[in-house]
């Protein structure tokens, strides 16, 4: 459905870059990234679902993290791949707004699921005696509803503000997806309200999870220093470092993209920044959060052995 105040029926996505000799190599590169993302996240989802000893709060949230990564990578990457093989990558107005909504929904959900995972680790390490009651199934469900609820509110706020704009006849979007800032550049009307919403909503969606993560890990590190066992400290530090690396990539690239005035951030740099949280992070999360985890390795070996025996 085309908004009444929109003067365009479709947009043209410029893609990642306009160098013809690099189009096919980049197509196969990002196709490989996408296949790895799909296999990694769906494999992790299947592994957690099949192994009952992984049915704990930690892996419940990891299950949802993999689901979110798979979904928002699928919202972006297939359309991005088309820009490498087609002369004119067209997306309808309705398709663009739909892509924008679901992209924002899953990205905001990811930021909050990461903070919930940090809180889960805080309870497990700092208050192990009350972990079962503090992270009961009811509490986990409530936290998950908050995660997806914040995702929905954030996506609706941005999308509702976007559909009220009138876009110019020049419908070329200098990006590989329908993102907020590239769309604002195509507007013929004032974008002051949209920019205000970006700073407020994105500030909340990045600020609240970031504060939660920093507080959680500050308390975790304080507890680690009181662990007398060298092995225990090493294991805890390993878990924290993996999470912090992934969080830094995701929140750092998001903040760099959205919390800087557009005049200070050329769109080409914005595209590179976007690659981190749309392509790289969903691909790396299965490795960062699971393959370095002993329980997941054991579950994978058991599952493979069962299939071999069958």
CATH number at residue 91: 1.20.1070.10
Give a yes or no: residue 1 inside a domain. Answer: no
What would the mean pLDDT of 99-128 be, rounded to a whole number? Answer: 92
Please give the C-alpha separations between residue 20 and each of 45, 64, 87, 177, in angstroms, as whole numbers.
38, 38, 10, 19
The domain containing residue 66 runs over which residues? 10-298
Give a yes or no: residue 308 inside a domain. Answer: no
Give a yes or no: residue 124 inside a domain. Answer: yes
Give a yes or no: residue 271 inside a domain. Answer: yes
| Cβ-Cβ contacts under 8 Å for 159 (sequence gap 6 or more) | 97, 100, 101, 104
Give a yes or no: residue 310 inside a domain. Answer: no
Give a yes or no: residue 208 inside a domain. Answer: yes
pLDDT of residue 60: 94
User: What is the per-residue pLDDT across 148-188, written as a single tens digit (0 to 9) for each?
Assistant: 999 999 999 999 999 988 887 778 888 889 988 889 888 88
Give a yes or no: residue 309 inside a domain. Answer: no
pTM of the model: 0.88
pLDDT of residue 167: 87
* Number of domains comprising the chain: 1
- C-beta of residue 111 within 8 angstroms of C-beta of residue 251: yes
Give yes or no for residue 261 having a pLDDT over 60: no
Q: How confident is the model at residue 259 (pLDDT cuts 50, 70, 90)?
A: low
């Amino acid at each position: 459905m085309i908004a009444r105040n929109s003067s365009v029926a479709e947009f043209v996505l410029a893609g990642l870059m306009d160098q013809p000799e690099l189009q096919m190599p980049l197509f196969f590169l990002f196709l490989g990234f996408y296949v790895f993302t799909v296999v990694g996240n769906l494999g992790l989802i299947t592994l957690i679902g099949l192994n009952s000893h992984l049915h704990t709060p930690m892996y419940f949230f990891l299950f949802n993290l993999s689901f979110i990564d798979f979904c928002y990578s699928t919202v972006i990457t297939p359309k991005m791949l088309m820009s490498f093989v087609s002369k004119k990558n067209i997306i309808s107005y309705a398709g663009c707004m739909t892509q924008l909504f679901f992209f924002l929904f899953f990205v905001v959900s990811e930021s909050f699921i990461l903070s919930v995972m940090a809180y889960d680790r805080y309870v497990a390490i700092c208050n192990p005696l009350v972990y079962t009651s503090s992270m009961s199934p009811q509490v986990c469900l409530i936290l998950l509803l908050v995660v997806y609820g914040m995702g929905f509110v954030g996506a609706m706020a941005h999308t509702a503000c976007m559909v009220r704009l009138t876009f110019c006849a020049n419908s070329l979007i200098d990006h590989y997806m329908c993102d907020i800032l590239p769309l604002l550049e195509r507007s013929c009307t004032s974008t002051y309200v949209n920019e205000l919403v970006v700073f407020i909503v994105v500030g909340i969606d990045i600020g609240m999870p970031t504060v939660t993560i920093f507080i959680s890990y500050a308390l975790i590190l304080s507890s680690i220093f009181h662990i007398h066992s060298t092995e225990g400290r090493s294991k805890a530090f390993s878990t924290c470092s993996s999470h912090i690396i992934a969080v830094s990539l995701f929140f750092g690239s998001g903040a760099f993209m959205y919390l800087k005035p557009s005049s200070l951030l050329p769109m080409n740099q914005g595209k590179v920044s976007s690659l981190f949280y749309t392509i790289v992070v969903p691909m790396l999360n299965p490795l960062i959060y699971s393959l370095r985890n002993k329980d997941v390795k054991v579950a994978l070996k058991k599952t493979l052995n069962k299939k071999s025996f069958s």
